[in-house]
A and B are shown apart, each in its own frame.
Chain A
Amino acid sequence: METNLHRYVWTHSRRETTFLILLTLVSLPIYYVTLDIPKNIFNQGILGKGVTFPKEVFGIPFEQVGYLFWLCFLFLLSVLINGGIKQYINTYKGRLGERLLRRLRYELVSRIMRFPLPHFRKVSSGELIPMITAEVEPLGGYMGDAFAQPLIQAGTLATIATFLFIQNWIMGIAAIIFFPLQGWIIPKMQRKVNQLGKERVRAMRKVSERIGEAVAGAQEIHAHGTATYERADFSDRLGKVFGIRFQIYIRKGQVKFLNNFLNQMAPLMFYSLGGYLVIQGDLTAGALAAALTAHKDMSAPWKELLDYYQQTADSKIKYEQVTEQFKPENMFEEALQAPISEPPKPLQGDVVANNLVVAEDGAVRLLDGVNLAIKAGEKVAVVGKVGGGKEALARALARLYLPSGGKLTFGGVDAMVLPEPTLGARVGYVAQDSYLFSASVRDNILYGLRQRLVNPREREAALEVERQRVLAESRRSGNLDLDSEADWVDLAVAGVDGPVELSARLVEVLRAVDLEEDVFQLGLRGAINPKQHPAIAARILEARKTLLQRLGEASGDATLRNLIEPFHPERYNTNATLAENLLFGTPIQPAFEVDKLAVNQAVLRVLGQVGLTEMLVKAGRGIAAEMVEIFADLPPDHEFFTQFSFISSDDLPEFQAILARAAREGTPMLPEDRAKLMTLPFKIIQTRHRLDVLTDELKAKVLEARKALHGSDDPAVKAGVEFFDPDSYNAAATIQDNILFGKLAYGQAKASQRVGKLIEAIVNETNLRPTIVEVGLEFQVGIAGARLAAPQRTKVAIARCLIKRPDLLIVNEATAILDAQGQARTLEGVLKEGEGRTLVWVLHNPALAERFDRVLVVGEGRVLESGAASELQKSGTLFAELTATAA
């Protein structure tokens, strides 16, 4: 990467910069005219000196006033032309700067993807991110200015100075006499500011690195109670930044003061010297006025020029500071990551390593001369002590670690010449720390197939034109011009013919890694849009009917019949809360969540209409009385309050007071007391809480209110709730809830497991399972897969490798996180799936080595033993020692 900023700009903007320079040169004479005309207006137009009227212009005679307006019109014209050119130059510069900035950022990001993997142990994202985002931001403006700005500003200055000299040489000297002084002293003072600026950048980088650590280590901070220490550390670092910034502030102020002072010296010279010359008659008043105006115009380009000078120093440093962070040793060659357009060819033949050496930082040898040959289709287990080189071997075979010596060949082809997309498609590598992207499970698995753009995306003509424009702009900044929204999933790599086969293949892979059931469960808890998938919704409704029927048929089997209480529009569901019974639907907006109903105005209106309010107050009073009786004696911090009580320990005294007030005869209850009491019954579930407050009359009224709510034409209600309907799919609810369409009964032993089994049986019978698995595949895994359990993450990562049917699959202790059973199941699944393919598995547990054709024992960076597990399993071998210690 170019080390010098100006050379970088010149290399990538030769044509544009030349054009800018030419344009600037053209603009200067026009600028001169805008300076010259005011003098003529003053002298000729106003004072009428040196002109005889009527004056002829293009054959038209002008009197003095007319001539004045003609001159003014010329002035306007020149100002407009000058402004237009300036505007054009500025836009052109701006665009040039932005393109260069885009190019620089793109190059930096591309370089990160070429860093050798061990380098990521030394740099943190906390350092890299601000460099590419915030730190290079000001460079954008500067790079556009790099060549044009000094020329424009110096040219403007020179034009003005020329004008002044032409008017009167003394005036010319007066205008520029302080420039050398300013030009000498200001940069000197500025240098110190620049140095402080560098320090500030470095200090801030450290702060961002530490913020990154505080985020990543949040758990440790809590676990060890070290927040105080961390805060002290941050306070310290921010204090340093503050100190530097304040220094900068003071020095900048000084520079500004001095600069302003020197700038004001020139007008002083004009008034004194120029005034003297006018009085003496050596200078016209018009020329002095024009000179004053011209000089005023000088301060702007002068300031710009000084700014440019300061920025140059600043930007050069920034550019160097940033780019040197992006040049680690042993980067991946750029050519290795060049785009490919054809499906990668299979890697046939043996995997052979000859005296393979991998060294970290050129010193520590992770692999120290590995010699091995793995036959095509062979299943090899790698075992060894931690740090002995088995992990490094796995990475080196996947060419994730670049060899610093020796040779790795796939079927006789040197691994170092294979492009990364080819290798990525044909070699699978999965480790414990394999990363999941924040996308769906499906996208995370198909990530293994995204080596190349397969098919362009079909677009409407208008959109296609726009897209082409965007891509052309990418080319101008040296960015890749491939459409990221096109089809990147390479079905050829997956070995399937179309999307239907791909779906089937996905299920196969899920089964192989023992993840299908998990994805099915995710699917049950997922949702579909019935408008987009009416057929699926219809089948789920079928399943709902089947379930209801099954429960009815099981009338003899009371255990089954009592498990679920289905929703019925005309009945009160005793296993649901009063709020759920009232709403009888799924809230879409937060205001209709069940715990918000008691304060929802739309709902309260309906309650008033049907006359439920009074009954709820009464029920609330009953609940409050029970709660006070049960919980009054408990200490306030007793956990029963949070677990069981409808009233928190803080509110209990208040409710005691409300009850006492309500007990007083003859006085009506206060409105606020009534409102408080009314909030209590909403959470009551009849079968669970078994409190005698839900009278039949109250329940009937709730049903009435439900009807009123459903019939309501209040827009808030319509937008806020998706009501239950036995005959239609509820888009706001999960698939499972749509099938169930009811509540699990309280107090039925093992109800949820048994209902789960029942639902699964019905889903299998109605052939819904593949559909639900599809829905499960759309589950968003969250950042780094955080919404999945750790074993599930590992399995997705393995599936991502299996989907591409790799010629060589390398598993680097990936299953260590699974329990023994899970490890064995996954191993069997992968072995079966990988039949006929080469497999290298670094085993965490040497006991599993028997399932492989051959075992390699790796230690001290070399292959120490090699042979079938049965051969090695005799006394004296390292393998025997390893299995003994593991057992």
Chain B
Amino acid sequence: MSIKEEVEVLRNIPLFAKLEPAKLKLLAFTSERVTYENGQPLFQQGDPGDAAYIVMEGAADILINTPKGPVKVATLGKHQIIGEIAILCDVPRTATVTANQHTVTLKINKETFFRLVTEFPQMSVEIMRELARRLDKTNEQLRQAVTKAGS
């Protein structure tokens, strides 16, 4: 897959949709393509957060360690972004992420990501939107859990 194709993929991701093509190309060019096979971890819960990943192909499971062992909380697939929380908030990885099939990612390292966010305000807005959406989803899950526990 060449840079041109990667730019096409990035353009379909809401987070980057409003960026101009030259910037998308810059993002693709300065990022590394990393391939994972089924079962290979992208990172472990507790690792320092050094990069965010965009899934170009395949999918990855998000696992959280609990006293009863790892629990799968979500599966992220094509065109979704993984691992941005740890680099945004500068906290250790909050979950373990493992490829559940042959998965190709675009690894954006922390510095590049921050640079893009600070230089292109449209990106920050998109990130806020994405985070708000996830918060909403988490709240929804919490509500359901509480209701379930109550009944």
Contact = CB atoms under 8 A, between A and B. Distances in A.
Contact of B37 (A558, A633, A643): A558
Interface string A620-644: 0000001001111110000010011
Contact of B40 (A633, A644, A689, A749): A749
B3 A748 contact: no
Contacts of B1: 690
A524 to B, nearest CB: 25
Interface stretch (B27-35, B76-84, B123-131, B135-143): B27-35
A630 B35 contact: no
B35 A640 contact: no
Nearest to B32: A747
B3 A691 contact: yes
A124 interface: no
Given A629-B22, A630-B29, A644-B29, A691 B36 contact: no
How many residues of A sit at the interface, in one of the four size bands?
20 to 34
16 contacts: A558-B37, A559-B37, A562-B35, A626-B3, A630-B22, A632-B22, A643-B30, A644-B30, A688-B32, A691-B2, A692-B2, A692-B3, A746-B32, A746-B33, A747-B32, A749-B34
Given A690-B3, A691-B2, A692-B3, A748 B26 contact: no
Given A558-B102, A633-B22, A749 B2 contact: no
Given A689-B29, A691-B2, 8 more contacts: A559-B37, A559-B40, A633-B22, A689-B3, A691-B3, A746-B32, A747-B32, A749-B35
B114 to A, nearest CB: 12
A150 to B, nearest CB: 78
A688 B6 CA distance: 13
B146 to A, nearest CB: 39
B4 interface: yes
Contacts of B28: 690
Contact of B25 (A629, A634, A746): A629
Interface residues of B, number: 22
Interface of A: 558-559, 562, 626, 629-634, 640, 643-644, 688-692, 746-749
Interface string B14-52: 000000001001101110111111001010000000000
B33 A690 contact: yes
Contacts of B3: 626, 689-692
Contacts of A631: 26
Interface centre among B1, B22, B28 (most CB of A within 10 A): B22
Contacts of A626: 3, 25, 29
A688 B37 CA distance: 19
Interface of B: 1-4, 6, 22, 25-26, 28-30, 32-37, 40, 42, 102, 104, 115
Given A633-B22, A643-B30, A748 B2 contact: no
B35 A748 contact: yes
Contacts of A748: 34-35
Nearest to A632: B22
Nearest to A687: B33
Contacts of A749: 34-36, 40, 42
A629 B23 CA distance: 9
Contacts of A558: 37, 102
Nearest to B111: A639
Contacts of A633: 22
Nearest to A558: B37
B2 A630 contact: no
A643 B30 CA distance: 9
B82 to A, nearest CB: 14
A690 B2 contact: yes
B30 A640 contact: yes
Nearest to B99: A749
A644 B108 CA distance: 13
A758 to B, nearest CB: 16
Contacts of B40: 559, 749
Interface centre among A630, A631, A640, A746 (most CB of B within 10 A): A630
A643 B32 CA distance: 13
B48 to A, nearest CB: 16
Contacts of A688: 32
Contacts of A559: 37, 40
Contacts of B29: 626, 630, 644, 689-690
A630 B7 CA distance: 12
Nearest to B30: A644
Contacts of A690: 1-3, 6, 28-29, 33
Contacts of A630: 22, 25-26, 29
A631 B42 CA distance: 30
Nearest to A694: B2
Contacts of A640: 26, 30, 115
B84 to A, nearest CB: 19
A145 to B, nearest CB: 71
B120 to A, nearest CB: 11
A747 B56 CA distance: 13
A636 to B, nearest CB: 15
B60 to A, nearest CB: 12
